[in-house]
Amino acid sequence: MFGKRTTTGGPAVPPPAAAETPRPAAAPPPPKPAASHGAGLSDPPPPPPRSTAAASSKPAAKSAPPPPKEKVAAIDSRSDEYYRTKTEVFNALIDTIDLSQLAQLDQESAREEIRDIVIEIVSIKNVVMSVAEQETLLEDICNDVLGYGPLEPLLARDDIADIMVNGAGTTYIEVAGKIQRTNIRFRNNAQLMNICQRIVSQVGRRVDEASPICDARLADGSRVNVIAPPLAIDGPALTIRKFKKDKLKITDLVNFGSISEPGAEILRIIGACRCNVLISGGTGSGKTTLLNTLTAFIAPGERVITCEDAAELQLQQPHVVRLETRPPNLEGQGKVSMTDLVKNCLRMRPDRIIVGEVRGPEAFDLLQAMNTGHDGSMGTLHANTPREGLSRLESMITMGGFTLPQRTIREMIVGSIDVVIQASRLRDGSRKIVSITEVMGLEGDVIVTQDVMRYEIDGEDKDGKLIGTHRGTGIGRPRFWDRAKYFNMEGDLGRALDALEEGGRQ
Ligand SMILES: Nc1ncnc2c1ncn2[C@@H]1O[C@H](COP(=O)(O)OP(=O)(O)OP(=O)(O)O)[C@@H](O)[C@H]1O
Ligand SMILES: [Mg+2]
């Protein structure tokens, strides 16, 4: 029961039933990487599953060939022999050590204590090891007892965007836009559950059979979701969106080819001339990153208030107030929702309000804020196209219990949102800004939009990388032209639009 060794000294939580539920000996369940990319799958208003429904209604082809064998990224290069030794030493350590006393120590002293005992065990048991091997073993065992165990090498790597653990035996990572399986494994589901518990206890929460779903944050800012058995059938599922310390800048996006230079210039103008912006995209398509990039164009003198579920944005401006929602505590009390935060923002004299992710009735308050003098407010939402984004906004308001006529809601949307920027993760793993779309107005009951820029796929190179171009759509004067003029940027905008046209023609 080394799980008692939480560094926070929080209450020990017995491993849930998962510990007793042995994983089926059969091969691990087939991976479902696609599931994490369904737009809005995890969101309250389920997306209109047009295409998925159509796909699932097709009868499954019985003679489908077996899926190609998965490549496994060898993160963990240690042998089975090493693991046998480690388990032996680990068990001896657990028998020897007084866990309750260890819990009293600070992290450093606890590590020292464990090291001393492990060295003693290794010599008593006559384990033959080089100094380097012994160091690895010590580090490994300390990580197991005090840290995040097998997750540590993944957490240490900065190039990993997501870590997805599907039960003790299966861990996937996303690197450079591609999901790959790793050979990282946990001893069993009980160890995995212990680590999940250790993570969430740091934010004063617990995850067990009674409350099997939990969101948390690591000390480094990484976003964590845990869903435990019995809801997760094959053992605890842990998902970590790694926090990137060095957030991507607009120049990085240009270097990666996510946007062209003239496209980036248009984004700069949109950000600086205080357009109200909605960033739309699928899960992990780069919405938050793009939002963060756009905030770089906010003038230093503006008072910016950010509202997020888990603080991910890193604004560089001096005058920023960061707010975060709060889940209910164990007694189900104390919840502070996004709507509460956005409402409160309005009493804080903001110049701009930035909502990390709009997913519920706060949409109404955000639109109202945009409508009432808080120009330049921004938010992201899950949607596959700008049009779908706008209709999701509408359904969020309707589902929030506002009994407004459809036309009134649409008028509100049209009156508030100036630009929708669509982010997308393409099939080659690259992330692109695929369109910049203006909201023009209402024609009858229909919201009229017009693209200022579109990313068009021209082909594919021999390595399977998509080749495409960010093209202008020939619009000489977008609707935000007057706004750009007001901010003395119409010259820049005109040049950027021309360059976009030029680039598109090449
Ligand atoms: N243009 C880009 N090029 C390369 N990597 C990117 C790009 N944009 C974002 N990323 C990386 O992709 C990962 C996911 O990005 P981000 O968190 O912005 O996505 P998201 O759409 O907000 O995801 P979620 O739906 O989970 O909130 C991050 O690791 C980020 O650094
Ligand atoms: Mg995000």
Q: Is 332 left (phi over 0), alpha (psi -120 to 50) or beta?
A: left
Pairwise CA distance, residues 358 & 183, whole Å? 36
Asked if residues 215 and 309 have their Cβ atoms less than 8 Å apart, the reply is yes
Measured in angstroms, how far is the CA atom of residue 4 from the centroid of ligand 2? 33
Cβ of 256 below 6 Å from ligand 1: yes
- Closest residue (by CA) to atom 2 of ligand 1? 431
Asked if residues 293 and 250 have their Cβ atoms less than 8 Å apart, the reply is yes
Atom of ligand 1 nearest to the CA of 242: 29
Pairwise CA distance, residues 211 & 214, whole Å? 7
Measured in angstroms, how far is the CA atom of residue 39 from the centroid of ligand 1? 14
pLDDT at site 67? 64
Amino acid letter for position 120: E
Measured in angstroms, how far is the CA atom of residue 408 from the centroid of ligand 1? 34
The residues near 304 (Cβ < 8 Å, ≥ 6 apart) are 295, 298, 315, 317, 319, 320, 321, 350, 351, 352, 353, 354
* Entry pTM: 0.77
User: Would strands 419-425 and 431-443 be described as parallel, antiparallel, or unpaired?
Assistant: antiparallel
Cβ of 287 below 6 Å from ligand 1: yes
Atom of ligand 1 nearest to the CA of 382: 25
Structure tokens at 438: 């203006």
Secondary structure class of 36 (helix, strand, coil) = helix
- Smallest-distance ligand from the CA of 290: 1
**Strand-pair partners of 421:** 279, 436
Atom of ligand 1 nearest to the CA of 256: 3
The residues near 432 (Cβ < 8 Å, ≥ 6 apart) are 257, 258, 259, 423, 424, 426, 455, 468
Cβ of 260 below 6 Å from ligand 1: no
DSSP states along 438-461: EEEEEETTEEEEEEEEEEEEEEE-
Asked if residues 350 and 333 have their Cβ atoms less than 8 Å apart, the reply is no
- Smallest-distance ligand from the CA of 246: 1
Helix, strand, coil distribution of the chain in percent, nearest 5:
40, 20, 40
Q: Is 340 left (phi over 0), alpha (psi -120 to 50) or beta?
A: alpha
The residues near 261 (Cβ < 8 Å, ≥ 6 apart) are 254, 499, 503
Atom of ligand 1 nearest to the CA of 244: 31
Pocket test for ligand 1, best of 288, 294, 308 (most atoms within 8 A of CB): 288
pLDDT at site 506? 58
The dihedral sign for the CA sequence 140, 146, 151, 157? negative
Q: Which DSSP state fits 90?
A: H
* Residue (of 414, 271, 58) closest to 406 by Cα position: 414
Pocket test for ligand 1, best of 224, 279, 431, 433 (most atoms within 8 A of CB): 431
Please list the pLDDT of the chain residue by residue as tens digits (506 residues): 333 333 333 333 333 333 333 334 344 444 433 333 333 333 334 444 444 444 444 444 455 666 667 777 777 767 777 878 888 888 888 788 777 777 777 878 888 888 888 888 888 888 787 888 888 888 888 888 888 888 988 988 888 999 999 999 999 999 887 889 998 888 889 889 989 988 888 777 788 888 899 888 888 888 999 999 989 999 999 999 998 878 889 999 999 999 999 999 999 999 999 999 999 999 999 999 999 999 999 999 999 999 999 888 988 889 999 999 988 877 778 899 999 999 999 899 999 999 999 999 999 999 999 988 888 999 999 999 999 999 999 999 998 888 889 999 999 999 999 999 999 999 988 999 999 999 999 999 899 999 999 999 999 888 888 999 999 998 889 999 999 999 999 999 999 999 988 876 65
Measured in angstroms, how far is the CA atom of residue 176 from the centroid of ligand 1? 10
pLDDT at site 311? 87
pLDDT at site 203? 76
**Strand-pair partners of 239:** 164, 225
Cβ of 5 below 6 Å from ligand 1: no
Secondary structure class of 367 (helix, strand, coil) = helix
Atom of ligand 1 nearest to the CA of 284: 23
Pairwise CA distance, residues 450 & 130, whole Å? 66
- Closest residue (by CA) to atom 15 of ligand 1? 286
**Strand-pair partners of 467:** 459
Residues 347-378: b if buried by 16+ CB within 10 A, e if exposed: eeebbbbbbbbbbbbbbbbbbebbbeebbbbb
pLDDT at site 258? 94
pLDDT at site 355? 96
Measured in angstroms, how far is the CA atom of residue 151 from the centroid of ligand 2? 22
Q: Which DSSP state fits 123?
A: H
Pairwise CA distance, residues 386 & 449, whole Å? 9
Atom of ligand 1 nearest to the CA of 432: 1
Pocket test for ligand 1, best of 251, 278, 289, 421 (most atoms within 8 A of CB): 289
